[in-house]
């Protein structure tokens, strides 16, 4: 019997083919592009270290194949899109969306060589404006693509943000989402601005929080006493495998709402899909799902985002107490300013790091499950075909939980 490699924390960041963490990622559907960004030109992408080309043929079918033609290695990024698929610009080999070679113009008439050539390809599915791909074993019989409530639920409005690339390891960003303590430091606002955030995430009175394992991953729940004895103010954020974060406070943050506004609870879920390009960079795909009653919510949100961006361009010493301090751009700085591949053995963790500790354990357990040929947490089984995957996020006031 083959002896399994002992998995440690140091294995988590590495996503290349044949690595334990890379094998884990390849048991899930992961986002590779936004559907609106795929037109009549092939799109060169890197996913989990693999160089690939994404394309939509003239019939609307989507293909994801190896970047280099199996004939002489020319890049299919420069291929021509046709009704049947994509044609290599070098010698004209034509491949369909499944990687099957259909034509070889320079081969003798009647040759059956094309039938024998099958290029590397992966299945692609569209959901909620995002394109998911499965890069794992048995691509002809992939596992179920989860129906994410924020993407598949017909209710509410959706807004897909611009795709962004980060020059750091994917796990830096994911761990950050499991670390609620940093919100009261990095994202603090002017303590006298009267907003809910400056009160709730006050570094002189950091909220109590729990880290809780869930069916799809984990959630961190921050709490402060509510307006009455039987209520509490709550901010709830979640992580779902393989690499998804969801938060619920964006409408209160960007509109700079006062504490009193929290009584209504949040209506906008900020859904972030993190896709490793390789060990040194990742792409972030973000969807906002609004279920409130304002038909112009996203139109109103846009000017607020622009104001934040303008404020963040100030020199650091002038913006550290800005009311917009520490939104997306300071998140960028902190995630990308850490070592590209952290040596986490040197860390000194405290009680406030319990969310980080839990998320590491959950991912390590998923890696071990794949090693042991078990279904990892978050990968759906056939009997879950109709299940809607709902990931928790909430900001507002609710009844106090009784432990």
Which domain covers residue 185, as residue numbers?
Answer: 147-399
Phi then psi for residue 287, to 5 deg, are -120, 135
Same domain, 117 and 62: yes
Q: DSSP string of 324-353?
A: TTTSHHHHHHHHHHS-TT--GGG----GGG
Q: Over its length of 403 residues, how does the chain's per-residue pLDDT go in tens digits? A: 556 678 999 999 999 999 999 999 999 999 999 999 999 999 999 999 999 999 999 999 999 999 999 999 999 999 999 988 999 999 999 999 999 999 999 999 999 999 999 999 999 999 999 999 999 999 989 999 999 988 987 778 888 988 999 999 999 999 988 888 777 667 666 666 667 677 777 767 778 889 999 999 999 998 888 888 899 888 899 999 999 999 876 655 555 666 666 666 677 888 999 999 999 999 999 998 888 777 777 777 765 555 554 444 445 444 444 444 444 445 555 565 555 666 777 777 777 889 999 999 999 999 999 999 999 999 988 788 778 888 888 888 888 876 5
Q: Does the residue 34 lie in any domain? A: yes
Q: Does the residue 326 lie in any domain? A: yes
- Which parts of 98-169 fold into alpha helices (H)? 149-152
Distances (CA, A) of 316 to 45, 168, 323, 325: 34, 22, 13, 10
Q: Does the residue 6 lie in any domain? A: no
pLDDT for position 252: 52
> How do strand 394-399 and strand 231-240 relate by DSSP bridges?
antiparallel
Contact 222, 180 (CB under 8 A): yes
Same domain, 83 and 153: no
Q: Say how many C-beta atoms besides its own lie within 10 A of residue 373's C-beta.
A: 6
Same domain, 152 and 104: no
Same domain, 98 and 191: no
pLDDT for position 302: 62
What counts of helices (H) and strands (E) characterise the chain? 9, 22
Domain boundary among 82, 105, 134: 134
pLDDT for position 323: 43
Kindly report the pTM of this predicted structure. 0.88
pLDDT for position 188: 64
Of 123, 124, 131, 159, nearest to 37 (Cα)? 131
- Residue 280, domain CATH: 3.90.380.10
Domain boundary among 134, 162, 185: 134
Same domain, 159 and 130: no
Domain count, the chain: 2
């Amino acid at each position: 019997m083959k002896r399994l490699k002992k998995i440690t924390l140091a294995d988590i960041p590495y996503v290349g083919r044949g690595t334990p963490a890379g094998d884990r990622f390849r048991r899930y559907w992961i986002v590779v592009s936004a559907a609106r960004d795929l037109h009549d030109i092939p799109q060169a992408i890197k996913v989990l270290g693999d160089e690939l080309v994404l394309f939509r043929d003239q019939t609307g079918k989507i293909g994801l194949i190896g970047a280099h033609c199996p004939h002489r290695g020319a890049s299919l990024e420069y291929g021509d899109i046709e009704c049947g698929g994509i044609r290599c610009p070098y010698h004209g080999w034509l491949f369909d969306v499944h990687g099957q070679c259909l034509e070889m113009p320079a081969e003798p008439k009647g040759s059956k060589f094309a039938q024998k050539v099958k290029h590397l390809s992966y299945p692609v599915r569209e959901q909620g404006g995002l394109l998911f791909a499965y890069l794992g074993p048995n691509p002809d019989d992939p596992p179920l693509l989860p129906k994410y409530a924020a993407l598949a639920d017909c209710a509410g409005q959706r807004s897909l943000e611009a795709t962004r690339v980060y020059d750091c390891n994917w796990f830096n960003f994911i761990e950050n989402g499991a670390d609620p303590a940093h919100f009261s430091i990095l994202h603090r606002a002017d303590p006298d601005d009267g907003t809910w955030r400056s009160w709730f995430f006050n570094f002189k009175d950091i909220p109590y929080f729990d880290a809780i394992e869930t069916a799809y991953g984990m959630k961190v729940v921050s709490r402060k006493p509510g307006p009455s004895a039987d209520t509490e103010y709550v901010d709830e954020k979640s992580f779902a495998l393989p690499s998804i974060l969801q938060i619920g406070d964006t409408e209160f943050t960007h509109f700079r709402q006062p504490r009193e506004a929290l009584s209504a609870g949040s209506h906008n879920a900020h859904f972030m899909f993190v896709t490793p390009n390789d060990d040194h960079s990742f792409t972030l795909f973000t969807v906002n799902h609004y279920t409130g009653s304002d038909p112009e919510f996203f139109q109103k949100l846009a000017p607020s985002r622009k104001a934040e961006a303008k404020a963040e361009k100030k020199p650091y010493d002038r913006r550290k107490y800005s009311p917009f301090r520490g939104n997306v751009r300071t998140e960028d700085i902190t995630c990308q300013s850490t070592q590209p591949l952290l040596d986490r053995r040197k860390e000194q963790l405290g009680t406030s790091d319990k969310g980080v500790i839990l998320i590491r354990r959950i991912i390590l357990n998923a890696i071990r499950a794949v090693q042991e040929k078990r279904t990892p947490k978050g990968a759906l089984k056939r009997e879950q075909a109709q299940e809607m995957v709902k990931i928790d996020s909430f900001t507002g006031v609710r009844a106090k939980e009784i432990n």
